[in-house]
Amino acid sequence: MPVLDASGRSSAITGAANGMGAETARVLARRGAHLALIDRDRAGLNRLADELRAGGTTVTVHPVDLRDDDAVAAAGAEIEAEHPVLQTLITCAGSSMLGSLEQLTMEEMRWLMDVNLWGTVSITKALLPALRRSPAAHISHMASIYALASPGGRIPYSMSKFAVRAFSEALLHELEGSTVTVGAIYPAGVRTGIILHGRYAAAIEPGVAGRAAAAQAAMYHMEPADAAEHIVRATLQRRARTLIGRETRLVDALVRLAPVRYWAPMRKPLREAIDTTTPMSPR
């Protein structure tokens, strides 16, 4: 299986306006790639596009809400027309959701599944025909450490990421023997602000949600630029499974050793990050 060369080939990136998506775009730009940037944040996309174009990178921007299947299909056709040789798709778009099952509504959980899972499926389906026309192509889907182990208090997020993992593995098998390969990437905590800017159940008092989000964010140690280097390397090497970060490797080993009881050692370090019920102490 040939390793891919980014120079002169096109890559599509979702969630490209900020965080890991933006940093992944910067890494690929330094490698000479042409870029199709996808995000619902039009202003963020334009800022990044201006930055990359100033460095000589060919960039197209595609503002789209990945929950809108018709808009995604239209964006896919647009990308296909503007990037005749689409070599890679990297899906970094996603959000977070705090709350217990009793606190969350069905609507809140469905929203996160629409963003994290169905948005990933939709853009992959839209761009697969273009990727198939490339002599060699790869799709990288962003899973999570929580696609390896499911903590309490993060049910919808873990469900969505386990589903992305399942989608990636099934698509890998479906495309076996073709020119397109597929991989899932499992990062540990990356300092993107996803948890601080994500959503929480409306039933949670805002101060309590903010406390839990801050506790979770404090556990994130990797910078987005460092994660992006791993993401691009895994994509160009066409890896089927990539673990990023020491915590991810530890959790992967823990789940293999204790597939039923892994939560016992995970509970203590996560206790503040998943506590969305204890009232705030009076000042």
pLDDT tens-digit profile of 36-49? 999 999 999 999 99
Tens of pLDDT along 100-130?
A: 999 999 999 999 999 999 999 999 999 999 9
Reported as type and span, the H/E element at residue 60 is strand 59-63
Give me the mean pLDDT over the 58-68 stretch.
97
Question: Could you tell me whether strands 86-91 and 34-39 are parallel, antiparallel, or unpaired per DSSP bridges?
Answer: unpaired
- pLDDT tens digits, one per residue of 150-202: 999 899 999 999 999 999 999 999 999 999 999 999 998 777 766 667 788 99
For 246, the token pair is 């020491």
Q: What is the mean pLDDT of the chain?
A: 93
Hey, which residues does 157 pair with through a beta bridge? none
Q: Is 209 exposed, middle or buried (0-12, 13-18, 19+ CB in 10 A)?
A: buried
Please report the pLDDT score of residue 195 as a whole number.
67
Nearest-5° Cα angle at 158, 197 to 247:
85
pLDDT for position 29: 98
Q: Mind listing the pLDDT tens digit for each residue in 202-251? A: 999 999 988 888 887 787 778 889 999 999 999 999 999 999 999 999 99
Starting at the edge strand found earlier in the chain, the sheet holding 86-91 runs: 59-63, 34-39, 10-14, 86-91, 137-142, 180-187, 241-244
Residue 248's pLDDT is: 94
Spatial distance between the Cα atoms of 174 and 253, rounded to a whole number of angstroms: 28
What's the pLDDT at 283? 58
* pLDDT value, residue 217: 78
- Ordered structural domains, the chain, with CATH: 10-270 (3.40.50.720)
Q: What is the mean pLDDT of residues 15-23?
A: 94
Tell me the angle at which helices 19-30 and 42-54 cross, rounded to the nearest 10 degrees: 20
